[in-house]
Amino acid sequence: MNAGPQEPTLVVAVDGPSGSGKSSTARGVARALRLRYLDTGAMYRAMTWWMLRHDVDVSDPAAVAARADEPVIEMTTADPDAPAVSVDGVDVSGPIRTREVTNAVSAVSAVPEVRTRLVALQRELIGDGGIVVEGRDIGTVVAPDAQVKVFLTASQQARAQRRAAELTADPAATVSTTRSEMDTRDRLDSTRATSPLLKADDAVEVDSTEFGLDEVIAQIVKLAEERVAAL
């Protein structure tokens, strides 16, 4: 059986740490299977961008919690090649990738009120499925019934190199500074009390260190087709 658009209920969850290749992989899988695509990290980044923009002290969880309901966050999921995120009607797809947002996002995403609000929004966006969803807690919390769950990893050095290559516009983003900022973020994301980064028991772990992007995409597409055929 073919896991095409005739399978609207299919949900593919792709979780893993930063720099593991999640975004390129998840987008490629969505393209190959003609599914929608949702980047949940972009939603936490959008929330963080709004907090910084409104001078909320992001190191104060109570201050963040008090305003977590205010930003209107909208996601475009239809085309994996053109994902967009807007806050209060403003497209913030570019601004959410700055170092300032990147270094504040772990603190904001650890606040339970932020997670409650964004998880509800993510479930609405997932709707009846037909979507690839990437994040940290998709297979464990957001979509525990997803038919396909992948936990994507890569060696720390490979992850730091990929991240630094993505940030070439920023002269401060060497491999070593990127690696230490990434380590800090991973530690915060993995040790927070609410929905930490965690491999779901039924997730398939894929280590992308030794594989090219196309190979990783092909592995996950095959897995999805097998799962759909077995339904």
Which of residues 35 and 185 has its CB atom nearest to ligand DC in the complex? 185
Is residue 136 at the binding interface for ligand DC, with CB under 6 A as the rule?
yes
Site residues for ligand DC, 19-38, by CB under 6 A, read: none
**E strand or H helix at 64, and its extent?**
helix 61-67
Q: Which residue has the tokens 């709707």?
A: 127
Smallest distance, ligand DC to C-beta of residue 105, A: 4
The site that binds ligand DC (CB under 6 A) totals a number of residues, namely 13
Verify binding: residue 44, ligand DC, rule CB under 6 A. yes
3-class secondary-structure state, position 44: helix
- List the one residue from 73, 135, 146, 221 that touches ligand DC (CB under 6 A): 135
Q: Which residues pair with 86 in a beta bridge?
A: 74, 91
| Residues whose CB is less than 8 angstroms from the CB of residue 161 and which lie 6 or more positions away in sequence, other chains included | 175
Give the long-range contacts of residues 180-186, CB within 8 A, separation 24 or more.
181/99, 181/102, 181/103, 182/17, 182/18, 182/19, 183/156, 184/106, 185/18, 185/102, 185/103, 185/105, 185/106, 186/17, 186/18
**By the rule CB under 6 A, 139 interacts with ligand DC:** no
- Closer of 3 and 30 to ligand DC (Cβ): 30
Q: Nearest distance from residue 17's CB to ligand DC, in Å?
A: 8
153 binds ligand DC (CB under 6 A): no
User: Is 25 or 40 the residue whose CB approaches ligand DC more closely?
Assistant: 40
Q: DSSP E strands: which ranges in the chain?
A: 11-15, 36-39, 73-76, 84-87, 90-91, 131-135, 148-153, 204-207
**Does residue 109 touch ligand DC according to CB under 6 A?**
yes
Instruction: Determine if residue 167 is left, alpha or beta; phi over 0 gives left, psi from -120 to 50 gives alpha, anything else beta.
Output: alpha
Nearer to ligand DC, 166 or 207 (CB): 166
CB nearer ligand DC, residue 18 or residue 153:
18
Site for ligand DC in 164-193 (CB under 6 A): 185, 189
Q: Binding of ligand DC at residue 45 (CB under 6 A)? A: yes
Binding site for ligand DC (CB under 6 A): 18, 40-41, 44-45, 105-106, 109, 135-137, 185, 189
